[in-house]
Copies of this chain bind each other. A is one copy, B any other.
Amino acid sequence: MADVAREAGVSRTTVSFVLNNVADSNIPEATRERILQVARELNYVPNVQALNLVTGQTMMIALIVRQTSEQMSIDTFTGEFIRGVTTVIEAQNYHLLVHAAEPDAPESTYGKLVRTRKVDGLLVTSPLVNDPEVRLLHDEGTPIVLNGSTDADDIPSVDVDNRQGAYTAVRHLINIGHRRIGHISNAPFSYRSSSDRLEGYRQALAEAGILYDLNLVMQGEFTPSSGFRPMLALLDSPEPPTAVFVGSDTVAFGALEAVRHRGYRVPEDVSIIGFDDIVFSQYTLPPLTTIRVPAYRLGYSAGELILKIIQGEKLPDYRVVLPTELVIRRSTVKRP
């Protein structure tokens, strides 16, 4: 910038005024043109580091991901989510920093990012949603948005309507004649998403006057293999279900496998409905009926929300809840 100033025969201040289009700095058109010309010739590009230093903004938002390698390899959600986030924030000149929080290093691994002024705000994905560090940072005034629901109602978050989605799924099974309906969760019930989905399941049953039977409720944990045993258990129970609501497509793959393993068929012997609608659910045998979760739009919303918070907008409600959608394919069928 100093070079440009020298070359154009003006002060650095003037160059700054011109390049930033500062109002009330009456620079005549001739000078302005000359400066722009020189800047172009000298191939001037501002140093954002210096800019950040003086403005106090980093134009950077961190996405904190805590997943094992195994989870990551299964996960198509995060990719779509990232795409949604970047689409919004890059349009406003922000960038996304992806940070993998180590499961064993319990704290301050990501708090450091904001304390050292590396980023302006934090997007935190679900397993960390109840981390005390999150609470602390939020109370310190750090712009933060959770992806997933917590019990902490005052922290901004973005999530899908899990209860409603589960309700819709089970309602669908009931509508097509099922009364004995099992459930395998997507994750341990300590996760809010799991307990919310369970609640939706129970609500649908209650409305239809079906008794809640604890023997029909099993716990899955993210992976296909975690759906295998629970499904076997359901099939082997004295009074097996005619339909099962699985809280995650990925877990449902293991469940499908288990049904085949016992020599039964989907959907003739058991109907199965999943949750998430990942791409591969179209290609299982049979294609999986499921509840669609708009991963891209969740990311998009999270991006919008964090930007608003960073820019100090006062919003009436900091929580975004997106609707789900029932996608009927071939793994569920009318009970004769």
| A49 x B45 contact (CB < 8 A) | no
Contact of A95 with B78 in the complex, beta carbons under 8 Å: no
Main secondary structure of the interface of A (DSSP, over half): helix
Among residues 12 to 50 in chain A, which have CB atoms less than 8 Å away from a CB atom of chain B?
45-50
| Residue A329, interface by CB 8 Å | no
Are B98 and A86 in touch, CB under 8 angstroms? yes
Residues of B within 8 A of A253 (CB): 280, 283
Asked if B285 and A260 sit within 8 Å, CB to CB, the answer is yes
Chain A: number of interface residues, binned into ranges: 35 or more
Residue of B nearest to A295 (CB): B73
Q: Is the CB of A257 within 8 A of B279?
A: no
The one of B58, B113, B224 that contacts A282, using a Cβ cutoff of 8 Å:
B224
Once bound together, how far apart are the Cα atoms of A45 and B108, in whole Å?
Answer: 13
Decide if A262 is an interface residue (CB 8 Å cutoff): no
Looking across the interface, which residue of chain B has its beta carbon closest to that of A55? B49
* A52 part of interface (Cβ distance < 8 Å): yes
Q: How far is the CA of A64 from the CA of B116 in the complex (A)?
A: 25
Contact A97 B99, CB 8 Å, known A52-B49, A295-B73? no
Report yes or no: B69 in contact with A73, Cβ–Cβ below 8 A: no
Q: A52-B49, A75-B76, A80-B72 are in contact. Are A98 and B100 (CB under 8 A)?
A: no
Q: Which residues of A contact B (CB under 8 A)?
A: 45-50, 52-53, 58, 60, 67, 69, 72-76, 78-80, 82-83, 86-87, 90, 95-100, 112-113, 115-118, 224, 253-254, 256-257, 260, 278-280, 282-285, 295-296
